[in-house]
Amino acid sequence: MKHARPVTFGGLSLMTITLLGSAAFAQDPRTAELPIAVQMYTLRDHGTLDEQLAAVQAAGVTAVETVGMQDSTAEELKAALDAHGIQAISTHAQLADLRADADAVIAFNKAIGNSIITVPFLAEEDRPTDAAGWTALGEELAQLSETLQAEDMTLAYHNHAFEMEEFDGRTALEVMMDAAGEDVLAELDLAWVARGGLDPVEYLGRFDGRVFAIHAKDNAPEGEAEDERGFKALGEGTLDWTAILPAAEEAGAQWYIIEHDQPLDAAEVVMTGATFLTENLPESATR
């Protein structure tokens, strides 16, 4: 069994120490061998960077998707990741930052050992309003992808609900990704796909072979969990994961990334998600 590293009261809160202590007995050793990661946005309000990574480690997870530079230097972030036995498998880098200085984004992520750059969100002023605009954005992503590929890196794109708008029977995300070309991968947030009115299982099939990862999170029943933006911990909401997980595997998903946009207890959400995925991922899911 993998044990959490020793900690001191000076470095961690009592809550985290308690969590680490219980996890040493409760975590499943299979978790570290599966393609499970945590989106660090989930833990943004959970104390220091060290406390956030300790919560990931306590859940038995050994991979994260970072948010920008995590308010750290590359050297600080890499040291913190290494101290907890965690690797960065993707980062969310804003389109504005890639436009302004792609070289800086590349250099930072190379320094922390990450090779996948994911555009996570479009500011309202950057969202196209017609198919031609989404096509143009896709062509811009293709150019950014070429820049990253020259540095042995890959570009991906993460959706919300607004990309589910349809133009002649195709969603904005499909229009954009077609224009971007097959080298730009999809990171599908299936809770947002469902909120956009589409079936996550069917939608995964539209990106067969291009799904780098899914964001594994759940929607609460309508009117519930309003203080958590209507999201629930993985497996506790309305999405049909018995159908979604095999469909994600079929679509080629390499990673299952636990996320919650506004958790009341981020460490518990991470632990619940890790347990759920460990127990429910298809047997063929491997790192």
Give residue 198's pLDDT: 98
pLDDT score, position 280? 97
Measured over the CA atoms of residue 44, residue 124, residue 104 and residue 215, the dihedral's sign is positive
Predicted confidence at residue 1, as pLDDT, reads: 35
Residues 6+ apart with CB under 8 A from 31: 59, 60, 61, 274, 275, 277, 278
Q: CA-CA distance, 207 to 47, in Å (whole number)?
A: 37
Q: What pLDDT does 212 receive? A: 96
The percent of residues above 90 in pLDDT, for the chain, comes to 89
Note the pLDDT of residue 11: 44
Predicted TM-score (pTM) of the model is 0.90
28 pLDDT tier (thresholds 50, 70, 90): confident
Write the single-letter amino acid at 209: G
At residue 19 the predicted structure's pLDDT band, cuts being 50, 70 and 90, is very low
The CB density around residue 229, as the number of other CB atoms within 10 Å, is 12
- Residue ranges in 32-94 assigned as alpha helix (H): 49-58, 74-83
CB 194, CB 215: distance < 8 Å? no
Q: Is the pLDDT of residue 193 over 70?
A: yes
| Owner of token pair 């001191």 | 8
Those residues with Cβ within 8 angstroms of residue 21's Cβ, 6 or more apart along the chain or in another chain: 4
| Bridge partners for 257 per DSSP | 37, 215
Q: Would you kindly state where each structural domain of the chain is located, as residue ranges?
A: 32-280
The domain 32-280 belongs to what CATH superfamily? Divalent-metal-dependent TIM barrel enzymes (3.20.20.150)
Nearest partner of 273 among 243, 251, 241, 250, judged by Cα: 241
Lowest model confidence (mean pLDDT) among 19-28, 61-70, 176-185, 188-197: 19-28
